[in-house]
Structure 1
């Protein structure tokens, strides 16, 4: 179990992020068109997982905007923005913001991503949602970088995540 903070309060997660050097756990999530999307759909490309509690919070929205801006300069890399928000919320936000270079995915249907990646918060005001984290997966499907952001209200370290791609 890992810990992050919500304000000054410590929040426990259901587990730990996948270890660097291990095979990334497979997953099935739901896209904005309500179709299932699997990690295997991105085999042979680098994948950055931008994981967060809800698109309807300031820092979560900022992370999606930031990764959308950086996506064009990352060849052979797909950025997946993941939360438990409904696909309709993602569609509304991305449409209003002109977000078109990242892929928004929801765990509302299958509900196992949070436990497989150790990110579901077990307690605190946002219990049941995902903690803020980044996981970078290389073309071979190996985890090459992880970051559990120490405080939910803090942005991830975009530079470190991108630099991990080499």
Structure 2
């Protein structure tokens, strides 16, 4: 990228070229005036007065033209400087807006992903709780049904003592002699 000139560089080159040409013109004007002055002095004082008047006019005109040229250069430099600042500010703002937009998109994606995973986990836990409740209900109902479908067993109406008293070792009907 070295050696490449921007529009601003080219414009600045033209502006400086104009100033240099103006300075050369001033130099030539001064040289011409000095030469004319020498001729006038050698020709006589009448020529001196006339030359002085002409030289005063040329100097005045030269200063005015130089001032106008400098004013033009100052205006061009100020305009270019303002344009450059605006371009830099706009580019910086665009970069920041793009960066903020990208960050927002990433955060939105991560948030949505987290919400989706939490919803999926919540749904899984709900299914497990529902399945556990269903299994418990089915087991309770199933056990009741199975118990009712087994061979009927007598259910006593009231508690009756056993016909044989229990004894262990020595006692009645234990073989030790009662």
How would you bin the TM-score normalised by the shorter chain?
under 0.3
Higher-helix-fraction structure: 2
Higher-strand-fraction structure: 1
TM-score normalised according to structure 1 size: 0.18
TM-score normalised according to structure 2 size: 0.17
Where relative contact order (Cα < 8 A, 6+ residues apart) is larger, the structure is 1
Choose 1 or 2 for highest CA Rg. 2
